[in-house]
Amino acid sequence: MKRTVFIVGLGLIGGSIALAIKKEHNVHIRGFDISDEQLKMALSLKVIDEAVSSIKEGVIGADLIIFATPVLKTEQLVQDISQFDLKAGAIVTDVGSTKKRIVEQASCLAEKGVTFIGGHPMAGSHKSGVEAARSHLFENAFYILTPIEGTDVRVIIQLQNWLKGTKATFIELSPSQHDRLAGAISHFPHVIAASLVHQIAKIEDEDPLVSRLAAGGFRDITRIASASPTMWRDILLHNKESLLQLLDSWTMEMASVKALIEEESAEAIYTYFQDAKDFRDGLPVRKKGAIPSFYDLFVDVPDHPGVISDVTGILAQHQISLTNIRILETREDIMGVLRLSFRSEEDRERAQLHLQIHLYDTYIL
């Protein structure tokens, strides 16, 4: 008899986990989503084998239950399923970006003879919905697991075996440690990006020209501010403690920078930026992290009719898919710049190789 997996939430993450599990295990996957359209799409794409009409129906006999839902919803759902008949020995996990509160709420499941292990696959995409799900989405990404102290090691290993099709790198952290680190490298940067956008919006009231000037580099460095407001509202409320500490530290950091500028400390300002450059340049470039990577390649192109179709034709010839293409510079009689975006580091490397063979100058920022 096939083992059963039940996935709640059939978007990009839930769908991709379903496909990764299917790739490695002969299982029956049930799915539930509040969107009938997403549920039907998941069924038609064979992401799931069965669509259920309620969570109560889905958990019956399930060996593995995965909540791929917003963090506030997950917090509620782990409480809800504690009232249902769960299979003894089942494993329950989630994919939320915060862990401490969810893990605390899930403590009630121990009384049902099941084990909850918090999870956070640190990968994503700029696309959404189950139609964007891919089994390789988490490949080479960090997949954080947050078992509580005393969790049976064999159950942790079982969960990793369930998820081995993701080809992710598993790391175990305490829920508090996860929230502190995720707050620093993911949650807080989203707050900063949104704040920068708000600052420009206020300046626009005084000088509308600022929006036109912000269309280039500023728009790029604040890309993450376009993420789901609902998701980030929930994350900030869930990770309140870590974010308040980070905001206090940031306030002090900005006060130090302000003092350097006021005092015109040229050497100290130089050192500040040099130290930041050194640390940033030393960060891993081939690993997936908490914020989805942008695999961009910049290509210098002459001001000549047909050059864009030539570039895309070279990529098509070698079956290299683009996720986005943008013209950054198109002034008469000067070299233009194309920014090509790819879904993976491997695609970008192949594109760079073939374009260079055709004598295009390419570079990565």
CB 165 within 8 A of CB 25: yes
* Torsional class of 46: left (φ above 0), alpha (ψ -120 to 50), beta (otherwise): left
Using CA atoms, how far residue 290 sits from 98, 120, 147, 285, 319, in Å, is 12, 9, 19, 13, 29
CA–CA gap between residue 230 and residue 214 (Å, rounded) = 25
CATH superfamily, domain 295-363, is VC0802-like (3.30.2130.10)
pLDDT value at 33 more than 60: yes
| pTM score, whole prediction | 0.76
Question: Going by DSSP bridges, is the β-strand pair 64-67/3-8 parallel, antiparallel, or unpaired?
Answer: parallel
CA–CA gap between residue 339 and residue 72 (Å, rounded) = 37
Highest mean pLDDT out of 27-31, 135-139, 330-334: 27-31
What average pLDDT does the chain have?
Answer: 89
Please write the tens of the pLDDT for every residue from 189-239: 999 999 999 999 999 888 888 887 777 678 878 888 888 898 899 999 999
Q: Find, among 199, 90, 181, the residue nearest to 142 by Cα.
A: 181
Domain residue limits, the chain: 3-173, 178-281, 295-363
For residue 126, the model assigns a pLDDT of 62
Using CA atoms, how far residue 248 sits from 143, 243, 276, in Å, is 29, 9, 20
For residue 1, the model assigns a pLDDT of 74
Q: What is the DSSP letter of 329?
A: E
- Architecture of domain 178-281 in this structure: Orthogonal Bundle (1.10)
Q: How far is CA 144 from the centre of its chain?
A: 13
For residue 331, the model assigns a pLDDT of 45
CATH 3.30.465.10 at 3-173, yes or no: no
